[in-house]
Structure 1
């Protein structure tokens, strides 16, 4: 696959522009205004509704992460089950590539020279899920940028859009919004951790991997070297 220069340049410019606007503006500029407004909107709800506390606390329990994995798995399986034997093999290889990419880009995100405590650790006199809920949940992070949950969901979206279909990609976009929201609503992440940090890392990394032919070459290499398992 030849290098797709237009897409490569576009997504790199998007990543640089978004991250630079957040990084270089004093106190993160308008991004901080959005972050603060979003945080206090949901934090005020936590302080006035016991039912809201329960819902958001459940969504921030580690067990809820399995719901996101199940949703992504169902989308992927819906294409896998109707595929031919050779297509199923390729989908399994693509799944392996997705996992390796998630690990690699997560490390790239960790390398960004930013250490940003979550809003619950930044603002004073705020409501905390861990103090109000009667079970284990999460409402804080000592280093929340970029949002790791959002990054994983965006990587999934890029993969299924490229290798499955645009409809699967739209499901992925919906999952980004739905399954990254609990951390923002609970105060463990800023809004910009997801839509600036995770977006910038995903855009930059996936552009270089997808629009330079790297993924296609890797897919071909793995297909040639991984063993074929045939039914007897």
Structure 2
């Protein structure tokens, strides 16, 4: 992978512009209307739609987070099983680099973005909370929800799928993102913009420097040389 500097800078500008469009206006400008509208719509459904109430309760249970890992792992396993033996170790090492990238970008996003914001369920009064409507363990609140770390991890996964496995894998990864990130917003543990501004702007500014340069390939090659196991030519 050669350094695709024009595309990297374009994505970086898009990420910064996205964040500033939310951060600079008073009360977050037009984003606030979107945030409140999305939250109000789903929150009202909790009181009148019992199947929806159970759906968001189950999909925000900590055990369901394991399902997101299984879904990501299943997609990678499918490609691993189809790969030649010489490439299977590379796929495993790519997964390791992906996790490392997610940890670094999440820490940078949490530390560098000058935002501390509670979830909508801790911001508004007189609202419906799943933890009060059902006696089931579920995450329906966060004291610092921006940027959404869960959504960020899923977007990073989608980026790695595009880089190493192509457009079909990318499309499936985006579906996984929708299935496992959107319930956080539906239950009120995240604002709409926690994911579609916070998570996305971090990914747009940080991930291109890993995937649109030789960085990820070089880290994979370094892991291949240093970690135990049969070495491959990467």
Query: What band does the TM-score fall into relative to the shorter chain?
Result: over 0.9
Partner of 2:149: 148
Partner of 2:81: 81
SS at match of 1:81: helix
Note the alpha carbon deviations across 1:150-173, whole angstroms, 9 max, x for none: 000001000011011210001111
- State how far apart, in whole Å, the 1-side matches of 2:91 and 2:36 are: 41
Q: Do structure 1's residue 12 and structure 2's residue 12 form an aligned pair?
A: yes
Indicate the larger mover: 65-74 or 218-227: 218-227
Note the alpha carbon deviations across 1:58-95, whole angstroms, 9 max, x for none: 11110111111111111111100011111001001101
The normalised TM-score by structure 1 is 0.95
Deviation at 1:212? 2.8
- State how far apart, in whole Å, the 2-side matches of 1:50 and 1:102 are: 35
- State how far apart, in whole Å, the 2-side matches of 1:175 and 1:34 are: 23
Q: Do structure 1's residue 54 and structure 2's residue 60 form an aligned pair?
A: no
- State how far apart, in whole Å, the 2-side matches of 1:209 and 1:146 are: 20
Partner of 1:194: 195
How many residues matched? 230
The 5 A counterparts of 1:1-232 are: 1-111=1-111, 112-229=113-230
The normalised TM-score by structure 2 is 0.95
- State how far apart, in whole Å, the 1-side matches of 2:188 and 2:194 are: 11
Q: Cα RMSD between the aligned structures? A: 1.3
SS at match of 1:117: coil
Deviation at 1:204? 1.0
- State how far apart, in whole Å, the 2-side matches of 1:146 and 1:136 are: 23
Deviation at 1:182? 0.9
- State how far apart, in whole Å, the 2-side matches of 1:75 and 1:216 are: 20
